[in-house]
Amino acid sequence: MFGTSITWGDITFMMTGAGLTLAITFWAMLGGTLAGMVFGLIRAQSPWYVNYPMGALLDVLRSVPLLIQFILFNSFQSIAGLNMNPFVVGCVVLAAYTSAYCTEIVRGGIGAVPVTTRKAARSLGMSYWQDMRYIVLPLGTRVMLPSWIGLTLGVMKDTALVYAIGVIELLRSSQIIITRKPHEALVILAIAGLIYFLVSFPVSRLGAHLEKKWREND
């Protein structure tokens, strides 16, 4: 096809890999965002003796290379006899890693809402949580969204590292085809790149659209 030796079988193989890439990204972002919101809320309002150890722990997740985290956690879970399959291991590790970044995004978003606006909400009789839900989070989201979109796109590319624990996602599947057809390496990588782009583009457009829409009200 396309005057090359790449077959539909190869393309299907890559698409299957792309599906896994998307699935891992989805679960990692879902888990990481939910955990990040909880941690971010805790960090935004906790005294130093909670914040300090929590920050240190999250810093570990942010600073140890993902590849090492995948391998360490995978070894740990097999020693502990948890019998998790590599896909689940990949999702869990990446979700934890994502949550560390998301925590800082959420904390920053909450911090960006002026104290005076929050006082106005509380002075109307809103409880702490009502203020959070109806005022702080909607306003903070505007600050958080660009970073969160960036995180999503980054995590999607980071999923490539799960090859280390034996998950065949998009990049790994491309490499497998390349080992069989080394002379098509450039075309195969171009196709893989195109797939990454086709997935990322709508996400970043959506982000840009929301930002523009919100800015119109400001």
Partner 1 sequence: MIEIENVKKSFGNLEVLKGISMTVEKGEVVSVIGGSGSGKSTMLMCINGLEPIDSGRILVDGTEVHAKGTDLNKLRRNIGIVFQQWNAFPHLTVLENTTIALRKVLGKSRSEADEIAIKQLKHVGLGDKLKVYPSRLSGGQQQRMAIARALAMSPKYMLFDEVTSALDPQLVGEVLDTMRLLASEGMTMIVVTHEMAFAREVSNRVAFFRDGLIHEIGSPKQIFESPERPETAAFLKSVL
Which residues sit at the interface with partner 1, rule CB under 8 A? 114, 116-117, 119-127, 130, 134-135, 138-139, 142, 214, 217-218
Nearer to partner 1, 121 or 168 (CB): 121
Phi, psi of 168 (to 5 degrees): -95, 90
If one counts every other C-beta atom within 10 angstroms of the C-beta of residue 157, the result is: 14
Nearer to partner 1, 136 or 171 (CB): 136
Nearer to partner 1, 81 or 125 (CB): 125
Nearer to partner 1, 183 or 213 (CB): 213
Q: Smallest distance from the beta carbon of 185 to partner 1, in angstroms?
A: 50
Q: Smallest distance from the beta carbon of 109 to partner 1, in angstroms?
A: 13
Q: Smallest distance from the beta carbon of 132 to partner 1, in angstroms?
A: 12
Q: Smallest distance from the beta carbon of 60 to partner 1, in angstroms?
A: 35
Phi, psi of 125 (to 5 degrees): 95, 5
**Alpha helices, H only, the chain:** 8-45, 48-63, 66-79, 86-112, 115-123, 128-130, 137-158, 170-180, 185-217
> How distant is the alpha carbon of residue 181 from its chain centre?
32
Nearer to partner 1, 83 or 116 (CB): 116
Alpha carbons 105 and 29: distance in angstroms, whole number:
13
Q: Smallest distance from the beta carbon of 36 to partner 1, in angstroms?
A: 21
Alpha carbons 75 and 84: distance in angstroms, whole number:
11
